[in-house]
Structure 1
Amino acid sequence: MNYQVLDVHSWSRAEHFKFYQGFSHPWYNICSNLDVTALRNYCKQNGHRFFHAYLYLTQQALNQCQPMATRLVGDEVRIYDTMQVSVAVLADDDTVRFCDLPYQANFARFCHRASETESKVKNTPFILEQFIGQEMLQNTVHLTVLPWIDFTSMSHARDTNFPDSVPKMAYGKLTQEGDKWRMPLSLEVHHGLMDGLHVGQFIHALQLMFNQPEQLDQQSG
């Protein structure tokens, strides 16, 4: 994991960072709706798995928005070079597994690796001891998918005693409205590291990518 350590004293939001650093609950959540019409239709026409397409584009958007790559680790504020996603998937017994998907610039390779990793983790028992003592990956975003729920609000389980600044995301139910399709998106972030402006910039970047799904195959060569 490559990263730069930010000089907090010269940071334009240094005082805001210090203000929120003392909060027992410094995270806030924003829910929005994404227009996925173009992306859904393109995937259907070209035989792409919609799930993989929006995960891939989410990774691409994360790597365009520096605040999403900023983490508080110990006393350091770090900016990571390459972001990835860790997505919760359901195994056959209807229990959750965590699936880390390393960054891939190429969509076809991303899909191949995602399919392999998903199959592997679904067939691996969930054992608590696997996570005890393991250092949390920082160059990632924790993502879940709730395809059964058209939510308008969302919260995530957190240990408030543990210093965690990794963003949490959730996608909801794919819903048709006339000839349009939409999905709710929840994004939970650390207020010491970013404001609503930065969340809005990320959502805007992501929506632009969803509006231009042909880039999936431009990245498959």
Structure 2
Amino acid sequence: MNYKIINMDKYYRRGVFRHFSEDCKCSISMTSHLDVTVLKKYSQDTKTKFYINFLYILAKTLNSREDYRMGYFWQTQQVVIYDKINPTHYIFHKDTETCTPVYSQYQNDYVYFYAACAKDIVKAKQSQKYALDIENHPNWFDASYISWLSYDSMHVELPDGYLYFMPIVNWGRYHEENNRLIMPVSVRLNHAAADGYLLAKVFLLLQEEILKFTQQK
């Protein structure tokens, strides 16, 4: 885990950061709907898992900007930017109706990421433990698939004043709409680290990355 410490005197959003980390401590969240028609077709044509493909695209998107890779060291009150952030996702056990966290290292190399993530999932299916280890995984963001329905909105709430900067992302089942497959995605960011533009940018980048990913030869 590598990171750099932000010089807050030179930070380009220092005014916004100060306001939403001192005067009005809060987070912001948004749900939007992505067109995943081409990603579904790509997954079918290549006989790969849609879930892992989207997780890769999500991790690549969130690693593309420093704004999404921010962290906070409460012991020293330092704001940092990690070199990369990795997805913590979840496997659902039908027999116990519980989840097991899956830690998958993000790699820009898709083939490497796909193979490693598939192994992580197999390993997690063999465990019934909810072994969430935030202390040893500070640069890991939460990525959770809500497979049971396609929803319109979702809100993730953290305690007021808690400077947790890692993105929290949820997505639901895709559904057919006007001959397209539409999937709800929800993103939560700390308002000190992101405004409406940066939040909306996540969805715009996701849609762009889906097109780039499915057009690769």
Normalised to the residue count of structure 2, the TM-score between the two structures is: 0.89
Name the CA distance, whole Å, in 2 between partners of 1:24 and 1:200: 21
Residue deviations 1:130-178 (CA, integer Å, cap 9, x gap): 558x515232210111122222221236455754222110011111113
Partner of 2:119: 116
Quick one: which amino acid aligns to residue 102 of structure 2?
Answer: C
- Native 8 Å contact 2:17 2:193 kept in 1: yes
- Native 8 Å contact 1:38 1:212 kept in 2: no
Aligned residue-pair number: 214
Residue deviations 1:108-130 (CA, integer Å, cap 9, x gap): 22122112111212222325xx5
5+ unaligned residues in a row in structure 2: which ranges? none
Partner of 1:99: 102
- Native 8 Å contact 2:38 2:214 kept in 1: no
Distance 1:157 1:121, change over 3 A: farther
Matches within 5 A, 1:152-167: 152-156=152-156, 158-160=158-160, 163-167=163-167
Partner of 1:193: 193
- Native 8 Å contact 2:43 2:49 kept in 1: yes
Partner of 2:4: 4
- Native 8 Å contact 2:25 2:191 kept in 1: no
Distance 1:26 1:157, change over 3 A: closer
Matches within 5 A, 1:29-40: 29-40=29-40
Quick one: which amino acid aligns to residue 56 of structure 1?
Answer: Y
Give yes or no for the alignment of 1:79 onto 2:81.
yes
The alpha-carbon deviation at position 24 of structure 1 amounts to 7.6
Distance 1:31 1:210, change over 3 A: same
Name the CA distance, whole Å, in 2 between partners of 1:14 and 1:212: 33
Instruction: Describe the SS at the equivalent of 1:89.
Output: strand
- Native 8 Å contact 2:25 2:161 kept in 1: no
Q: Percent identity?
A: 21
Residue deviations 1:44-87 (CA, integer Å, cap 9, x gap): 11111100100011111111122111122221111111121111
Partner of 1:173: 173
Instruction: Describe the SS at the equivalent of 1:148.
Output: coil
Normalised to the residue count of structure 1, the TM-score between the two structures is: 0.87
5+ unaligned residues in a row in structure 1: which ranges? none
